[in-house]
């Protein structure tokens, strides 16, 4: 297992694309945080410390790459090797397919955790500086933790999609599915009730987004979260059920034929 993790670390972190995606994830997160903080500061020039912390959390968790970058990393975890034909070589070096799969999971999750943690920390600092907070680390920890968990979920989702589809198709499915297909489907089932709430709340990406939702109606309006959502733990559980099913299907198709 140690050799498999070492192989995956070298393969993943020595590519130019990895360094570009790392830089873009952090830079875009900081820029989005700065822009949102300027907007919030103009809307509410006088804020309490608690309100500033909530606003900083909003700004730190709204960059599109906070979630998308881990998803792309998950796709590239297998997609790059499938595209360039190096997966067969990796399996020759590490015949235990379960070990290779676990090594990719470990490195992808470690990288996603690092990206998300650094991005959010820098974004919170920038936001609090713009908002004039006396504590640059003022934030809403439960929401930040939820964002970290959700980012890792997207990374696992990317691995599952990357095993099932070619790299380009996997990227298109992840982007289009989250930004276009699910919102349209959500509108179709919005009025259908399921266990006391809208069926749209049980769609994968909306269920996962409950991990970074805000109870304050004012903040919900700022980040356009007026659609029905499940409680954080329930939504997170539903999201990871989808992720687990996709990972299982991907493993069976991409790696499970021969053990």
pLDDT of residue 197: 87
pLDDT of residue 94: 62
What lies within 8 Å, CB to CB, of 105 at 6+ separation is 156, 159
- What's the CA gap between 150 and 125, in Å, rounded? 21
> What is the pLDDT at residue 244?
96
pLDDT mean values, one per 10 residues, the chain (259 residues): 76 84 95 91 77 85 92 85 63 67 89 96 94 87 94 95 88 92 90 87 92 67 62 93 94 65
What does the DSSP 8-state code read for residue 37? H
Question: Which of 117, 123, 118, 91 is CA-nearest to residue 104?
Answer: 91
- Give residue 86's pLDDT: 62
Q: Does residue 147 sit in helix, strand or coil?
A: helix
What pLDDT was estimated at residue 234?
93
Alpha helix positions (H), 44-86: 49-60, 64-84
- Which residue spans within 68-210 are E strands per DSSP? 193-194, 197-198
Closest by CA position to 257, among listed 87, 133, 11: 87
């Amino acid at each position: 297992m140690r050799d498999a993790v070492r192989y995956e670390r070298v393969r993943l972190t020595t590519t130019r694309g990895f360094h570009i995606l790392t830089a873009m994830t952090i830079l875009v997160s900081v820029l989005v945080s700065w822009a949102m903080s300027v907007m919030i500061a103009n809307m509410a020039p006088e804020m309490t410390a608690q309100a500033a912390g909530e606003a900083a959390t909003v700004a730190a968790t709204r960059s599109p790459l906070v979630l998308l970058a881990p998803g792309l990393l998950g796709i590239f975890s297998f997609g790059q090797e499938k595209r360039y034909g190096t997966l067969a070589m990796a399996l020759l070096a590490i015949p235990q397919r379960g070990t290779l799969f676990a090594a990719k999971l470990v490195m992808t999750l470690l990288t996603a955790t690092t990206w998300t943690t650094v991005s959010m920390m820098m974004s919170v600092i920038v936001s609090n500086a713009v908002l004039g907070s006396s504590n640059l680390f003022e934030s809403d920890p439960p929401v930040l933790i939820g964002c970290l968990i959700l980012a890792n979920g997207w990374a696992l989702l990317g691995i599952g999609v990357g095993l099932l589809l070619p790299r380009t198709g996997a990227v298109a499915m992840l982007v289009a599915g989250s930004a276009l297909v699910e919102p349209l489907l959500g509108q179709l089932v919005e009025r259908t009730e399921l266990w006391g709430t809208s069926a749209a709340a049980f769609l994968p990406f909306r269920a996962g987004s409950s991990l970074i939702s805000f109870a304050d109606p004012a903040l919900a309006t700022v980040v356009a979260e007026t659609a029905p959502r499940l409680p954080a733990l329930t939504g997170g559980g539903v999201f990871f059920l989808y992720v687990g099913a996709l990972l299982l299907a991907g493993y069976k198709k991409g790696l499970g034929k021969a053990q």
